[in-house]
Amino acid sequence: MLKGKHIILGVTGGIAAYKSAWLIREFVKANAEVQVVMTRTATQFITPLTLSTLSRREALIDMFPPAPDQTTDQWTKHVDLSLWADIMLIAPATANTIAKIAHGMADDFLTTLVLALRCPLLIASSMDVDMYRNEITQRNIDILKETGYFLIDPDSGELASGLTGPGRLPEIERLVKIVDDLLHKIHQDLTGKRVLVSAGPTQEPIDPVRFFSNRSSGKMGFALANAAALRGGEVTLVSGPVHLRTPRNTRRIDVVTASEMNEVMQSKFSSSDVVIMSAAVADFSPAHRVEHKLKRGDEVDRRFVVELKGNPDILKTLGEQKTHQVMVGFALETDDGVENAKKKLDEKHLDAIILNNPNVKGAGFGADTNVVTVITADGKIDELPMMSKFDVANEILDRVVTYL
Residue 217 near ligand C5P by CB under 6 A: no
Q: Helix/strand/coil (H, E, C) string of the chain?
A: CCCCCEEEEEECCCHHHHHHHHHHHHHHHCCCEEEEEECCCHHHHCCHHHHHHHHCCCCECCCCCCHHHCCCCHHHHHHHHHHHCCEEEEEEECHHHHHHHHCCCCCCHHHHHHHHCCCCEEEEECCCHHHHHCHHHHHHHHHHHHHCCEEECCEEEECCCCCEEEEECCCHHHHHHHHHHHHHHCCCCCCCCEEEEEECECCEECCCCCEECCCCCCHHHHHHHHHHHHCCCEEEEEECCCCCCCCCCEEEEECCCHHHHHHHHHHHHCCCCEEEECCECCCEEECCCCCCCCCCCCCCCCCCCCCEEECCCHHHHHHHCCCCCEEEEEEECCCCHHHHHHHHHHHCCCCEEEEECCCCCCCCCCCCEECEEEEECCCCEEECCCEEHHHHHHHHHHHHHHHC
Size of residue set near ligand C5P by CB under 6 A: 13
Which CB, 169 or 350, lies closer to ligand C5P? 350
Q: Which stretch binds ligand C5P (CB under 6 A): 153-161, 173-181, 224-232, 329-337?
A: 329-337
Residues 309-328 that bind ligand C5P (CB under 6 A): 311, 313-315
Minimum CB–partner distance for residue 280 and ligand C5P (Å):
7
Residues shown for the chain: 404
Minimum CB–partner distance for residue 283 and ligand C5P (Å):
6
Minimum CB–partner distance for residue 371 and ligand C5P (Å):
17
Query: Which residue from 196, 228, 281, 352 is in contact with ligand C5P, where contact means CB under 6 A?
Result: 281
Residue 10 near ligand C5P by CB under 6 A: no
Residue 374 near ligand C5P by CB under 6 A: no
Q: Which member of 134, 214, 340, 357 is catalytic? A: 214
Residue 393 near ligand C5P by CB under 6 A: no
Cα dihedral value 39, 43, 49, 54, nearest 10: -70
Residue 258 near ligand C5P by CB under 6 A: yes
- Residue 214 among the catalytic residues: yes
Minimum CB–partner distance for residue 118 and ligand C5P (Å):
29
Residue 225 near ligand C5P by CB under 6 A: no
Minimum CB–partner distance for residue 220 and ligand C5P (Å):
11
Which CB, 171 or 347, lies closer to ligand C5P? 347
Minimum CB–partner distance for residue 279 and ligand C5P (Å):
5
Residue 344 near ligand C5P by CB under 6 A: yes
d(CA 45, CA 25): 18
Residue 126 near ligand C5P by CB under 6 A: no
Residue 111 near ligand C5P by CB under 6 A: no
Query: Which residue from 59, 121, 331, 352 is in contact with ligand C5P, where contact means CB under 6 A?
Result: 331
Query: Which residue from 17, 21, 235, 279 is in contact with ligand C5P, where contact means CB under 6 A?
Result: 279
Residues 283-302 that bind ligand C5P (CB under 6 A): 283
Residues lying near ligand C5P in the complex (CB under 6 A) are found at: 258, 277, 279, 281, 283, 311, 313-315, 329-331, 344
Catalytic residues, by residue number, are: 214
